Chain A
Amino acid sequence: KQEVTQIPAALSVPEGENLVLNCSFTDSAIYNLQWFRQDPGKGLTSLLLIQSSQREQTSGRLNASLDKSSGRSTLYIAASQPGDSATYLCAVNGVTGGGNKLTFGTGTQLKVEL
């Protein structure tokens, strides 16, 4: 059974700091990995998708890496801004009985302060 762990559970940083969010998973047989952002009371916004054959993906100030063999992914946020404050969820897309599903971590709650 796939298990996804995110560290740290919460993080508070001053504006402008570069930061790293960590995600680890137990089963390396995955199709891909997605990083999401969730604002309070809102749905999930997809940030980056990394296929299992890829090592990293970049979008603006965000960079995500994937090391499938060691079961790890990191999300790097450069020059953090107060608008980045949200919960960040890592989700691993793996095989189910008949299809595929995302297995989520419990998230890292980020607060960027002025």
Chain B
Amino acid sequence: EAGVAQSPRYKIIEKRQSVAFWCNPISGHATLYWYQQILGQGPKLLIQFQNNGVVDDSQLPKDRFSAERLKGVDSTLKIQPAKLEDSAVYLCASSFGGSFYEQYFGPGTRLTVT
């Protein structure tokens, strides 16, 4: 069974530029999550989708971050414009359902903002 796929794996941009990350969840998984992991910390949830609807985006900095999940399958997370403090690993996870199901994580995208 294929795991969660993410691309790119690495990205270096200058501050004020824009960047987009892509995630393809495990086939059949209805729930998709984006987490941000700053060096030395545990991941922090940014947004949760159930199919193609947003369930929780309370911790997404909406002035610069946006995310979509068209057709309820793959998802894109965008940052525009980027700030230095956005340097982190962006992890995508998926689960079969919501609350009681195990979350499976992709390899992440390491973003460096200079």
Residues of A within 8 A of B (CB): 4, 31-32, 34, 36, 41-46, 49, 51, 89, 91, 93, 95-107
Q: A51-B100, A89-B42, A101-B33 are in contact. List 15 more A-B contacts (CB 8 A).
A: A4-B42, A36-B105, A41-B110, A44-B93, A46-B104, A93-B103, A96-B48, A97-B58, A99-B31, A99-B99, A100-B48, A100-B98, A101-B48, A102-B45, A103-B42
The answer to whether B106 has its CB under 8 Å from any CB of chain A is yes
B42 surroundings in chain A (CB, below 8 A): 4, 89, 91, 103-107
Contact A49 B105 (CB under 8 A): no
- Number of inter-chain CB pairs below 8 Å: 76
Q: How far is the CB of A68 from chain B (nearest CB, A)?
A: 14
CB-nearest residue of chain B relative to A41? Answer: B110
Q: How far is the CB of A62 from chain B (nearest CB, A)?
A: 15
Contact A34 B91 (CB under 8 A): no
The answer to whether B14 has its CB under 8 Å from any CB of chain A is no
Contact B103 A46 (CB under 8 A): yes
Q: Identify the interface centre among A4, A51, A104: most chain B CB within 10 Å of its CB.
A: A104
**Given known contacts A4-B42, A102-B103, A104-B43, is B58 in contact with A43 (CB within 8 Å)?**
no
CB-nearest residue of chain A relative to B48? Answer: A99
Q: How far is the CB of A33 from chain B (nearest CB, A)?
A: 11
Contact B58 A100 (CB under 8 A): no
Contact B102 A46 (CB under 8 A): yes
Nearest first, the 4 closest Cβ-Cβ pairs linking A and B are A104-B42, A99-B55, A44-B105, A101-B45
The answer to whether B25 has its CB under 8 Å from any CB of chain A is no
A44 surroundings in chain B (CB, below 8 A): 43, 91, 93, 105
Q: How far is the CB of A20 from chain B (nearest CB, A)?
A: 19
Which residue from A43, A97, A98 sits with its C-beta under 8 Å from B108? Answer: A43
Contact A99 B108 (CB under 8 A): no
Contact sample, A vs B, 26 pairs, CB 8 Å cutoff: A32-B99, A32-B100, A36-B105, A42-B107, A43-B4, A43-B6, A43-B106, A91-B42, A93-B99, A95-B99, A96-B48, A96-B56, A96-B58, A97-B58, A98-B48, A98-B56, A99-B55, A99-B56, A101-B48, A101-B56, A102-B33, A104-B42, A105-B42, A106-B40, A106-B41, A107-B42
